[in-house]
Structure 1
Amino acid sequence: MASPLTLATDTADPDGRIVEPRKLTRDLPHGWATLIRDWDRTLRAGNYSPATRYNYLLAVAQLARYLNTGDDVPEAAAVRRAQVESFQAWMIETRSAATALNKHKALQQFFRWLAEDGEIERSPMEHVRQPKTPQPMIPIIHSDDTRRLLDVCRDRDFTSLRDKAIMRLLANTGARLSEVALLHIDDLDMDRDIVRYHGKGAKDRQVRFGPTTGRALSKYLRIRDRHRHAGSTRRLWLAVRGDRPLSANGIKLMLRRRGLAAGVAHVHAHRWRHTFAHEWKLAGGDTGDLMLLLGWASEEMARRYGASAAAERAQQIHARLKVGEHG
């Protein structure tokens, strides 16, 4: 069992690896490192997920390093709007607008906490505008492509059965990559064919899976029981070698590898999530029910997902209604 000190200082990155905040701050001045450590305590008390905590702490550490121009890094209380805007512009140039937006949101939370804790009077983020991010049209993945991907997993070895179960679950439930990656064995109810996902914001939800997905999961669970490291973790997905569970990044690489083998380009988990939303709307499914199944709190997400296939839905509805062809 981890010691109280370890539990109090460790956090995890999005793939579930343990990362100590002091490793993120080891080259920073004491003042910054102390604030980041103390903020992490507040985030833990607020039950923020390990991945969110990691990304929040990383953003603050990156800002501090950016402000280090060779002289002393300014204290957090001395940071001004222009410095944050310069950091944000640099993030857009060297990473992307989407990454810069994530850093913006993290820094908003950090400086708000500093103000609430009495370290600063006003946040330098007050008049810093969020970077505008383009909304790329993510293409859905058609059933023929999914079939081709599943065909390259037709063997009965451990890797094939695991990869087929992962793809079936992604396609059948529209879950996020991180939600599928972090599943535990106990999250599967094989009697009722239900999976429990641990979504963003500590929101759990239950989603039913179909009989084909159930069979794929059953076959994987049986061969998992025979894996040499089956007892090393309760996480559902095991790596082929070693006693570590398969990470989200490992699943991402697996999908890319299977896509190359199947001749399907740009295979990633979110395409199935968009496809799920598209097919749900095409079948006349209720938006509120879709939000519950996919773990959304805003209708904006329901409008955004499946948008790449909106024209296809409109054409099919137009053909069915035969607008302008009567009389």
Structure 2
Amino acid sequence: MPTQQLPTALAETAHAFGRYLDAERGRSVHTVRAYLADVGSLLAHAATEGAGDLSDLQLGTLRRWLGAQSEAGKSRATLARHAATARAFTAWAVREELIAVDPALRLRAPKREKSLPGVLQQGQVQRLVAGAETAAAEGDPLALRDRAMLELLYATGVRVGELSGLDVDDLDPDRRTLRVIGKGNKERTVPYGLPAALAVDDWLRRGRPA
């Protein structure tokens, strides 16, 4: 049920929560959209149970909403995210004095499935780097850039998103360090070795000007 089809009080509350996430928490557009989708789903479920405003939201409502999501085939990771969104939403509502008691204090969701991230084998990494070296040797600007990126990823272990957010000023060639802005807008300094330094220098000299 879109927010415009919710009872007026519930729709206004959802929009106010979105403004809070955007203005006060500095969340990304993607994160705000995901939070609001979860909150919209929750409030739509509450409306089907007769809720007209936020004071009608009870722990049982939250549990039945999660149960309906589970029956719809949602994964444990998604259910855990839904529960986290519900707790953030009701905690905000208490702070805003929209409700007196937080109904999500005793809300629990299935624990996330633990799985190790996939990693490349050593031989795969070697073939990847060797292929980049061969292409870069021909002087193609994109190949020089790609080799520099691969060498930095391999040398530093930074996330791809962190790497793509780097600017030239974030590199200190003399110290061979990167200034990285990670999750939570936290800054850290990461060292890298000679192969990455040579690849970056080659790209700066021959690739970037082109």
The offset of 1:45, in angstroms, is 5.3
Name the CA shift for 1:137/1:120 in 2 (closer, same or farther; >3 Å): same
1:163 is matched with which residue?
146
The match for 1:198 among 176, 181, 198 is: 181
Residue 216 (str. 1) matches residue 196 (str. 2):
no
Following the alignment from structure 1 to structure 2, what is the Cα–Cα distance between the partners of residues 163 and 25?
44
| SS of match in other structure, 2:135 | coil
- CA shift, 1:108, in A, is 1.1
Q: After TM superposition, list the pairs within 5 Å mapping 1:33-48 onto structure 2.
A: 33-44=11-22, 46-48=24-26
- Structure 2: how far apart are the matches of 1:225 and 1:68? 59
Give the whole-Å Cα distance in 2 for the aligned partners of 1:140 and 1:128: 35
Count of aligned residue pairs for this structure pair = 202
Matched with 1:100 is: 79
Q: Measure, in 2, the Cα distance between the counterparts of 1:77 and 1:221.
A: 60
Query: Of 165, 170, 175, which aligns to 1:182?
Result: 165
Do structure 1's residue 87 and structure 2's residue 69 form an aligned pair?
no
Shift of 1:129: 0.7
Q: CA offset at residue 213 of structure 1?
A: 1.7
Give the corresponding residue for 1:118: 97
* Displacement of 1:31: 3.8
Q: What is the CA-CA distance between 1:41 and the residue it aligns to?
A: 4.1
Quote the Cα distance in structure 1 between the aligned partners of 2:184 and 2:152. Answer: 22
Whole-angstrom distance in 1 between the partners of 2:31 and 2:46: 23
Question: SS in structure 2 opposite 1:128?
Answer: coil
**Structure 1 residues 171, 73: CA separation in 2 closer, same or farther (over 3 Å shift)?**
farther
Which residue identity does 1:155 align to in structure 2? A
1:49–1:201 Cα contact (<8 Å) kept: no
In 1: Cα distance, 2:5 partner to 2:142 partner: 41
- Seen in structure 2, the aligned counterparts of structure 1 residues 192 and 96 have a Cα distance that, compared at 3 Å, is same
Give the TM-score of the pair, scaled to structure 2.
0.75
Q: Which is greater in Rg? A: 2
Contact 2:9 2:52 in 1 (8 A): no
1:207: how far off?
0.8
Give unpaired runs (5+ residues) of structure 2: none
| Superposition RMSD in Å | 3.2
Q: How does 1:280-295 map to 2 (within 5 A)?
A: none
Partners of 1:61 and 1:75 in 2: CA distance: 13
Larger helix proportion, structure 1 or 2?
2
Q: 1:135 aligns with which of 107, 114, 131?
A: 114
Q: Which moved more, 1:176-185 or 1:102-111?
A: 176-185
Q: Deviation of residue 158 (structure 1)?
A: 4.1
Q: 1:149 to 1:63 in 2, by over 3 A?
A: farther
Matched, 1:64 2:43: yes
